[in-house]
Structure 1
Amino acid sequence: MPENVRTVEQLHVILERDKNKIYQRINEVEDKHDTNYADLKLILTTFIETQKPLSKMVESIDNELKKLNSNVTDITRRVDKVEGKVTAHDEVLEKRSNANTTIIVAVIGSITTFGSAALGFSQIFFK
């Protein structure tokens, strides 16, 4: 007990005053928390509202990427078809080249044969 208290009534008055101070402090803290909660709620609401355009933008980007993926897939298919055709043309050209080489060798051989025969016959006829 404090020393300046002489009666129970004085002690009761001091107790009530201290209780009032405690309740006043509790109310101050509670008001501070209510204010902070209201501020936080406002900030959160504002943040959510600012994110809505971002969501629409992400959705738009997603749609564009889907279109791009479809286009790339189509291009890949076309390139595969063209590659197959080019390979087929290369094979045909290689076969023709081999055939042309064979024909050229045959023509040169026949010219050589006929040339030799002509020289042989010319010696017989022009002797």
Structure 2
Amino acid sequence: MERSTFVYDGDCAFCTRCAEFIERHIPTGARVLPWQFADLAALGLTEAECEEAVQWVGVDGVRAAGPDAIARLLGDSGPLWRVAGAGLRFPLVRAAAWPAYRWVARNRHRMPGGTAACAVPAARRN
């Protein structure tokens, strides 16, 4: 059976903690795996895309990144999580979600569970 795939940065402790939360608490049929262990070519992804943001590759071929990927993951989950995913797709919420996502990504080494290894290299911080 083919499954959608949610890809995250396995080198980042904060990202890994978030992925563990997903696996424990969000009933999704998607595979949740670090990009370092994914067949990126088969998924149509690049390392650069995966280093930039979490990625969603749906069985229907739909691809999404960052908060759009999170919305897709939630939409593929249980009823309450689907509502959250639908909310994340509202234009105003989505418009606010991207700057918030980028801020978290830039500061993930400061987040709970984050480590110095989570820091995005200075050259890639905007």
TM-score (norm 2): 0.17
Which has the larger share of strand? 2
**Larger C-alpha radius of gyration, 1 or 2?**
1
Which has the larger share of helix? 1
